[in-house]
Structure 1
Amino acid sequence: MRIRDILRNKGDAVATVAPGTTVRDLLELLSERNIGAAVVSADGASVDGIVSERDVVRRLHERGADLLAAPVSEIMTARVETCGPDAVVDDVRGIMTEHRFRHLPVVQDGRLAGIVSIGDVVKSAIDVLESEREHLVGYIQQSP
């Protein structure tokens, strides 16, 4: 299975914020959309960074409530791992597990094409296993 298969099912919408967006506004976006991360992008197409709930919590502990007025560019991860739509889901799951991050932007031709979460990747693995199980059960039930 490829990342494009996941995007076909979930869609390619990506929550983005400009680098100057305040942490307070970021939190509002994350809460409203019930998501855990947003891509930081000055133009909505490039990936300048990524910022997650985890980034906010860690910096809030260090800096206190004043952090809420700070721009997300101060807390974002600037060196962002990405993948393409043709990436193999098992490979992506390994990368996410090894590097311990839960969101991976999908980039095609230098433009943001979607985002996958560890939940999306795990769900796809479960779907594949369920399909294989159904095929095996069908095969066994058809045997003489």
Structure 2
Amino acid sequence: MGIKSFQGKRAAPEKEKSAPMLVRDYMSTSLITFKEHENIMDVAEKLTKNKISGGCVVDDNNKLLGLISEGDCMKQISDSRYYNMPLDNATVGKRMTCNVDTIDGNMNVMDAAKLFIEKRFRRFPIVEHGKLIGQISQSDVLRAAVRLKSNNWHLG
């Protein structure tokens, strides 16, 4: 008689719990920012040169004051032409969006994706202790989703 080995029913191996995918892990921190006093044409030049559609407006202490976009620049250029006004005094401060929605760097990236869909924004600034620390864009969220898919496509 051989020795019988009895192994009880094995429990299924626990699924690896994935670490939360946080906004701070995907946000851009090397930002091109603007100042209130900058001329709109200079901003338009920076936007096209850097192939970005907009950016954060900050003060000298890196406090977020607003956002400026391609659309803001185009509106100023169009208005200046229509009203035959020089662009010399067209500043960021006069055209920027001041009431800016920000999100927390500790938010899950997939929750941020939902906000992008709801708000129809291209970017969200990330502010910590009153200072701009980064920005997350739609492409950053897509990058996170692609990475998640390569690991485990379960968004929750």
Coarse TM-score class (shorter-chain normalised): 0.7 to 0.9
Name the residue aligned to 1:107.
Answer: 127
Residue among 36, 46, 67 paired with 1:19: 36
Residue among 53, 60, 84 paired with 1:36: 53
One-letter identity of the residue aligned with 1:79: N
- Matched-pair contact (CA < 8 Å) for 1:60–1:67: no
Residue among 129, 136, 142 paired with 1:122: 142
Name the residue aligned to 2:114.
Answer: 94
How many residues were matched structurally?
130
Which structure 2 residues correspond to residues 57-76 of structure 1 after superposition, within 5 A?
57-64=74-81, 66=85, 68-69=87-88, 70-76=90-96
Q: Does 1:77 align with 2:97?
A: yes
Q: How far apart in 2 are the matches of 1:83 and 1:40? A: 16
TM-score where L is the length of structure 1:
0.80
Q: Find the residue that maps to 2:30 and give its secondary structure.
A: coil
In angstroms, what is the RMSD of aligned CA positions? Answer: 1.9
Q: Find the residue that maps to 1:17 and give its secondary structure.
A: coil
One-letter identity of the residue aligned with 2:130: G
Please state which structure has a larger fraction of its residues in helix.
1
Unaligned runs of 5+ residues in structure 1 are 134-144
Q: Find the residue that maps to 1:48 and give its secondary structure.
A: strand
Deviation at 1:72, TM superposition (A): 1.0
Q: How far apart in 2 are the matches of 1:114 and 1:75? A: 22
- Matched-pair contact (CA < 8 Å) for 2:55–2:67: yes
Cα deviations across residues 45-71 of structure 1 (Å, max 9, x unaligned)?
111000111222344344438474300
One-letter identity of the residue aligned with 1:52: S
